[in-house]
């Protein structure tokens, strides 16, 4: 029974790793588009006196998936900034307890962001006016859902990390 549960959990984690990697690649593509668009806008503005209209708005929209869709992959790779100088002085079991507490806070925060962005995105879908950006007239809701997806994926990864951290607390 425990072996089957462990095997199923491993498959879920492998799927999460793959999905977060794809999301990180998409985030990197959005970042590249933002960079090229900004460079083109600057060149157009200073060399041809013709900036690209709506660039700042589009870059702001693209920043949402560029910034949030790579978070889950960073968590899987353990690339986030962590200050361990204080925590590493404690015994391993207490470190696991602190990690569990941090994961719980992260799960709560990112789940709340996911939920609220989903609620706001749904609200903006049905707004007759006011759900569009000023310059481009682009709808806000896809970007709210993009933020919800990024935050939700990170919350799920943190949940998997919490399970491992609690297992360490029990083991040690």
When divided into structural domains, the chain yields a total of: 1
Name the residue range of residue 68's domain: 2-171
149 CB-near residues (< 8 Å, 6+ apart): 23, 68, 69, 114
pLDDT of residue 3: 63
> pLDDT tens digits for 37-77?
999 999 998 988 899 899 999 999 999 999 999 999 999 98
For residue 1, the model assigns a pLDDT of 55
Q: Is 148:121 a contact under the CB 8 Å cutoff?
A: yes
- Write down the H helix ranges in the chain: 2-47, 55-68, 71-77, 92-125, 141-171
Q: What residues have CB less than 8 Å from 134, skipping those under 6 apart?
A: 57
Q: What local confidence, expressed as pLDDT, does residue 2 receive?
A: 54
Q: Is 39 helix (H, G, I), strand (E, B) or coil?
A: helix
Residue 41 is predicted with a pLDDT of: 93
Residue ranges of the chain with per-residue pLDDT less than 50: none
């Amino acid at each position: 029974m425990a072996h089957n549960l462990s095997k199923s959990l491993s498959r879920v984690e492998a799927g999460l790793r793959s999905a977060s990697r794809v999301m990180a690649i998409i985030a990197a593509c959005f970042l590249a588009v933002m960079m090229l668009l900004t460079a083109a806008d600057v060149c157009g503005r200073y060399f041809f006196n013709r900036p690209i209209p709506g660039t700042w708005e589009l870059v702001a929209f693209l920043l949402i998936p560029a910034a949030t869709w790579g978070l889950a992959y960073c968590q899987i790779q353990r690339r986030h900034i962590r200050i361990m100088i204080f925590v590493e002085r404690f015994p391993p079991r207490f470190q696991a307890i602190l990690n569990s507490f941090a994961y719980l806070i992260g799960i709560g925060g990112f789940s709340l962001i996911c939920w609220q962005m989903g609620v706001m995105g749904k609200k903006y879908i049905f707004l007759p006016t006011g759900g569009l950006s000023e310059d481009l007239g682009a709808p806000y809701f896809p970007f709210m859902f993009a933020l919800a997806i990024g935050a939700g994926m990170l919350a799920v990864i943190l949940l998997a990390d919490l399970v491992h951290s609690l297992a360490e607390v029990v083991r040690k």
